[in-house]
Structure 1
Amino acid sequence: MIFYDCSTAPNPRRARMFIAEKGLEIESREISIAERQQLSADFLVINPHGTIPVLTTDDGATLTENLAIARYLELLHPDPPLMGSSAREEAEVLMWNAIVEAQGGHPIAEALRNSHPAFENRAIPGPDNHAQVPELAERGFRRVARFFDLLDARLSDSPYLAGDFFSLADISAFVFVDFARVIKMRIPAEHSATQRWFDTISQRPSAAL
């Protein structure tokens, strides 16, 4: 297998943490988004969508989405379980992972890509150019604030997002919360449950990757 990574981007970091939590050693190749290597002719042969992460498998499949990569590795290496140990647990993990992506990851990207000069005419990932829309950035900032409220409400009732166990949903949320620093947003001081959860995950070796 080969893992196509970018050390500065949040979505590859999610896959990188998942791989580390599984205790796997997979050959990796760095693709620099800053240098637009994901849009190079060579990389577009691997992933025509021009996005990262990508996992190419030993049997020739190309997996281009975090959820697909996680599910594939979970089935091959079920221990430790990161997507639940029962039908209900897996459903909870998938539900919270989807909530985190929709309510956290997408708004952070929306705010960043529609406001930062580095993403001028690159407001949407992929091979096509799209102009920035300032109104979308403003909406993104408001939605990120709401995401922090959502997290704290959940984590006030549960040690982890999907229940009493660490999972893929926590990896996704942790990476997005950490990456929110690029739009100058942090865990609000009054959100003690989220801060406790964030500090706990920060101690895991995978969080340093």
Structure 2
Amino acid sequence: MKLYDSPWAPSPRRVRIYLAEKGIEVPRVNIDLRAAEHLGADYLAVNPRGAVPALELDDGEVICESSAICRYFEALHPDPPLFGTTAVEIARIESWTRRIEQDGYAAVVHVLRNTAPAFKDRALVGAAPAAPQIPELAARGTLMWRAFVATLDQRLGASEWVAGDRFSFADITALITVDFAARCKLDTPEDATHLRRWHAAVSARPSAAA
């Protein structure tokens, strides 16, 4: 088994934080995104989509997408539970995880891929066909981000963690999203006090440095 990883990309970081919380060690192969190693023939033979992370199992099967990889390990190592144990917990964590991905993470991707010079004519992920940048999508992403921050701040005013009274996969997803946004110059407003309280707490966990 080996995990195809990349040190600075947010999706691989989500898997690393999850594995650190679980205490699971997996051999890693670093893929240099800046050198376009993810678009080379060797990696495309592993994941034709050209995205990281990817988990190659001992029998040769490859699991792609960070959430799916974490779900795989959750089935093998259910303790400590990060996807919930009761029907309500599982549904709540899933609901918030999807909301963070669709409203928050997607907003940052819209901004980054439609403004950064490195993504000129490469506005789609990985080995997708050439696609031009669309400034209007970056503007929409900024609006989406502001709305998402307000929603998450309100939620964290009523709950210690994103999906309830204990740390979960939803918190991992939110952390990599907020940190990704900061790197893309989408800041968290000073008046988002609940979100800032939560961010300080989750960033202090040892797993955040994974």
Q: TM-score range by the shorter chain?
A: over 0.9
Q: Give TM-score, length-normalised by structure 1.
A: 0.97
Partners of 1:129 and 1:150 in 2: CA distance: 34
User: Which deviates the most, 57-66 or 39-48?
Assistant: 57-66
Amino acid in the other structure paired with 2:50: G
**Residue equivalent to 1:170:** 171
**Residue equivalent to 2:158:** 157
**Residue equivalent to 2:184:** 183
Amino acid in the other structure paired with 1:141: T
Partners of 1:92 and 1:12 in 2: CA distance: 23
Q: Is the 8 A contact 1:84 1:167 kept in 2?
A: yes
User: Which deviates the most, 56-65 or 168-177?
Assistant: 56-65
Kindly state the Cα deviation for residue 184 of structure 1 after the two structures are TM-superposed: 1.0
Kindly state the Cα deviation for residue 182 of structure 1 after the two structures are TM-superposed: 2.4
Partners of 2:166 and 2:139 in 1: CA distance: 35
Pairs aligned (count): 209
Q: Is the 8 A contact 1:112 1:182 kept in 2?
A: no
**Residue equivalent to 2:40:** 40
Q: Which runs of 4+ in 1 moved over 2 A?
A: 58-61
Partners of 1:180 and 1:67 in 2: CA distance: 19
Kindly state the Cα deviation for residue 165 of structure 1 after the two structures are TM-superposed: 1.0
**1:81-134 Cα deviation digits (max 9, x unpaired):** 110011211111111100000001111001000001111111110212211001
RMSD, matched Cα: 0.9
Amino acid in the other structure paired with 1:29: V
**Residue equivalent to 1:200:** 201
**Residue equivalent to 1:56:** 56
Q: Between the two proteins, what is the percent identity of the paired residues?
A: 44
Partners of 1:188 and 1:57 in 2: CA distance: 42
Matches within 5 A, 1:1-209: 1-127=1-127, 128-209=129-210
Instruction: Give unmatched runs, 5+ long, in structure 2.
Output: none
Amino acid in the other structure paired with 1:177: V
Secondary structure of 2:195 counterpart: helix
Kindly state the Cα deviation for residue 61 of structure 1 after the two structures are TM-superposed: 2.2
